[in-house]
Amino acid sequence: MPNIYVPKNRIAIASSFEGIFNNGATECALTSLNAYHNQEPGAFLGKKLTPQVFSTSYRSHPIVQAFLILRPMVEIAEDYRTVLDVIRSNPSKVTDLLRNPTDIATYSWFEREFHTLKGNTQREREEFGKGKESLFYRERKALQEADYSAWLATQEPYADTVPQFRTLVDGQIWDGETPVSGFYPRFATSKDEESTHALCVLYSEIGALEKGDAIGERCVIPRNGIIGMETVPDRNKVKQLAVIGERLGVPRSQVWRLNDRYDPAQQEELNDNGFVYQFFLPGYAAPHEIEKAKEDRFVRLLDRKNFARQLGEAAEHWNF
């Protein structure tokens, strides 16, 4: 039995997938750079990259590192175009950013530039990322069709959070095939469920997860615990969390949101719909988002290497 408090009730941990469990920002960098090259031939690296070349030779490239730092600005695919525009137009500021990536003043400068360029490049943005036939999504599909395994391998799980999810699962109590009590990780994602589960199978096969962690009901990532665009096409978090509660058979008070972004508007919407227990585990978060979260009494800030224990302490405090 893990050394954490195990709740008497079933608690669904409705976690983001990207930024908490999975680091897919590198795949977004590859896809975005290739799509940008299709739109602006010769820009940046001067060529398109295969997943293999990207993974072996370009993951540490300054352009990729700047992209990853600025990833928190992205909400929709069109934003990837604008992030790359900002990087391309401001090489000296990129040097400052790479020198001190957590400096709030530098990051805020990039945010202002991002919003200025966003307003001035609407046509280019829509061509780049709006809809399944846009450059970004066509490029992602092409990479998948060329070598699906290599495309998957441009992503990786976060090594610090995998053991925490394992601790939560190890504390579950079952009566045969019926879950009785404990924490049950579930994933509310903007990704599609098929590729998300394929990632989990891959990670299990290569040893990043334990064998079988993507198969069956008692694994870290059960297939029916991934709620993505197939189940909720508009990816609304209230709807996704509602599905999670229904599938586990628990009230909304026992569906706890775990988000890697500090999003007060989303938190308010979830709270208004009965999902009052919300936690912030910084992933794709800007430096100033983390500072704001520290002051927000409605959300609990968690530590990536200890959040299983912290969730247990919260459940004990609230008498679950």
Q: What is the mean pLDDT of residues 185-204?
A: 89
CB contact at 8 A, 288 and 107: yes
pLDDT of 284 reads 84
Structure tokens at 28: 């977004």
Spatial CA neighbour of 279 closest among 308, 300, 309, 263: 300
User: What does the pLDDT average to over 280-300?
Assistant: 88
**pLDDT tens digit string along 50-77?**
999 999 999 899 999 999 999 989 988 8
Residues 6+ away with beta carbon under 8 Å from 225: 184, 185, 186, 187, 244, 247
Quote the pLDDT of residue 2: 60
Which residue segments constitute the domains of the chain, with CATH numbers given?
A: 10-23+157-317 (3.40.50.1000), 25-152 (no CATH)
- Please write the tens of the pLDDT for every residue from 210-245: 877 777 778 888 889 999 989 998 889 999 999 999
pTM of the full structure: 0.84
pLDDT confidence band for 306 (50 / 70 / 90)? very high
**pLDDT, position 298:** 86
Report the distance separating Cα 177 and Cα 252, nearest Å.
Answer: 22
* Tally of residues, the chain: 320
DSSP H helices in 207-284: 237-248, 264-272
pLDDT for residue 81: 96
